[in-house]
Structure 1
Amino acid sequence: GDRKTVQLQTVKHAEKNLGEICHLLGSYTRKTAKLRDKADLLVAQLFDFSSTEGHEVQMGLKNLAEDLAMIQDYRQAQVERLETRVVGPLKAFGGVVKNKRADLKKFNTDLNRELKELRKVEKIRLRNPADRKSIVSFLKLENTQSHMNLKYLILLCSYL
């Protein structure tokens, strides 16, 4: 009971926080890309304006435009790195968390089924304690299934 609750809370906590982090990083990446686009427009406008001015102003505006263009190259690299190295892997990890939630749900369903079967065995034992053969064969089957589910739970916990 306690361990199951802790695992469910861990998965819920991871889903909530990863979702929020992905949302914020996506927003940050989009806004950085918009800033890059606006600066590209500014660079183009500076080049256009410089062509209509005198030599000194023209050189100053072109230098400013070139410097601003270099900054935008760095901003472009930042956007690409954010998308490939941060947002992408976080989205993939979100899928892992969803799979773990589904696995945990399946395990809980199996566990509840096993508990129900054990209650059934207890009822059989109380009704007819002399029928040991059917009780023992039923318990052997349940023990095999429980052992497989226990291994699965241990494997599942190691990934959380």
Structure 2
Amino acid sequence: MNRSSTTVNGSERQAKFVQDRINQVEKYFGFLCQTFGSITRKNARLRDKSDILTTHVLSYADNESINHSTRKCLVEFAGNYGTVQDYRQAQVERLEAKVVKPLSNYGNVFKKLKADLKRAIASRKKEMKQQKSLQTAKEKNTGNPNLIAENALQHASEDASRSSKELEDSMNRFEKNKITDLKKVLSDYVKIEMSFHSKALEYLTKCSQNLEAIDEDEDLTEFKNSLREFRGVPSILPRQGEMSNQPGVSSNVNQRPGNTLTSTAREQTLTSSGMYSTDGIDDDDDDDDLSDDDDDGYEYRR
């Protein structure tokens, strides 16, 4: 059955609506994907810088032989602050798996939708061309050509109708999945952030307590004793015994339990997965790594 002109025009309007919808969603999903990718990379760099800080604090504590209170508390501080970075590592991995990857996978979804749209538009154009051919044959008032043109038009109309229905079904599925996935991605992001910050607050509180526990008067007394000894004056103040390294605390931050990736290996885990590109991103070790710049190199995986 040949479709009416109204139906054909309706298909054309539907195709325009679908095209605008695909372009709109693709644009903003691209923005989300790019931004979440940037957040993930920045968190990874912040984790690496914090690991360096932990290493320096431990090194300072290991070489502190006079202020025993400071030494003890700094070792405990480094252990707790290092644990925060273990949780930050888990945050980075979860962001990559539950937020960035699902969004980057939509690149293939948009590619398929555009192919369906292109096929529907081509079928509609073919139908319109057959309508013109039939009209031309009728104007010539010949016999058999009319029958041939009508058959060709019927086949073209059936193909156009089928393509239009397939496109409509594809868009309905896409819209349903898009809403569900967007809700899940944003919910997962919020949960990941809440989980990290709750654990970070717990161990940062311990870090604060470690620093508060430093006995300034005791350490000053020990320094005065050492100073008097170097001057050849006997100490008149009691000295604390030499303190041993705290058990279970390593000065190598990259060997902490649960922290098996070095800073370089962790960064390669993010950039070599193929899910997003870091072209055009400032990934050096300058202090501006943590600035709020825009990363234009982040794209869908095509």
CA 1:99/1:72 → structure 2, altered by over 3 Å: closer, same or farther?
Answer: same
Please list, as runs of the form range in 1=range in 2, the aligned pairs for 1:52-67 lying within 5 A after superposition.
Answer: 52-53=63-64, 54-67=67-80
Aligned counterpart in structure 1 of residue 147 of structure 2, from 122, 133, 153: 133
Provide the TM-score with structure 2 as the length reference: 0.50
Give the 5 Å matches for 1:67-86. 67-86=80-99
Opposite residue 22 of structure 2, the aligned amino acid is V
Moved over 3 A (4+): 129-133
Q: Is the 8 A contact 1:125 1:135 kept in 2?
A: no
Q: 2:124 aligns with which of 82, 105, 111?
A: 111
Matched, 1:89 2:93: no
> Unaligned regions of 5+ residues in structure 2, if any?
1-11, 175-302
The residue type equivalent to 1:86 in the other structure is V
Structure with greater helix percent: 1
Distance (Å, rounded) in 1 between the aligned partners of 2:69 and 2:26:
58
Report 1:140-159 matches (<5 A): 140-159=154-173
Deviates more, 1:1-10 or 1:130-139: 130-139
Matched, 1:19 2:15: no
Does the CA contact (< 8 Å) of 2:123 and 2:156 recur in 1?
no
1:20, CA displacement in angstroms? Answer: 0.9
Output the aligned Cα RMSD.
Answer: 1.8
Instruction: Quote how far apart the aligned CAs of 1:102 are.
Output: 2.2
Aligned to 2:60: 49
* Unaligned 5+ runs, structure 1: none
User: 2:129 & 2:147 partners in 1: Cα distance?
Assistant: 20
Whole-angstrom distance in 1 between the partners of 2:47 and 2:171: 43
Cα distance change, pair 25–11 in 1 and its aligned pair in 2 (3 A): same
State the match for 1:38 in structure 2. Answer: 49
**Percent identity of paired positions between Structure 1 and Structure 2:** 31
**Distance verdict in 2 for CA 1:156–1:121, change over 3 Å:** farther
- Structure 1 contact 26–87 (Cα < 8 Å) conserved: yes
1:143 Cα deviation after fit: 3.8
Select the structure with the greater relative contact order (CA < 8 A; seq sep ≥ 6). Answer: 2
**Separation of aligned partners in 1, 2:168 and 2:20:** 17
Normalised by the length of structure 1, the TM-score is 0.90
Larger radius of gyration: 2
Structure 1 CA distance for aligned equivalents of residues 81 and 37 of structure 2: 24
Deviations 1:10-40 (A, max 9, x none): 1101111111111111111000000000000
1:8 match: 19
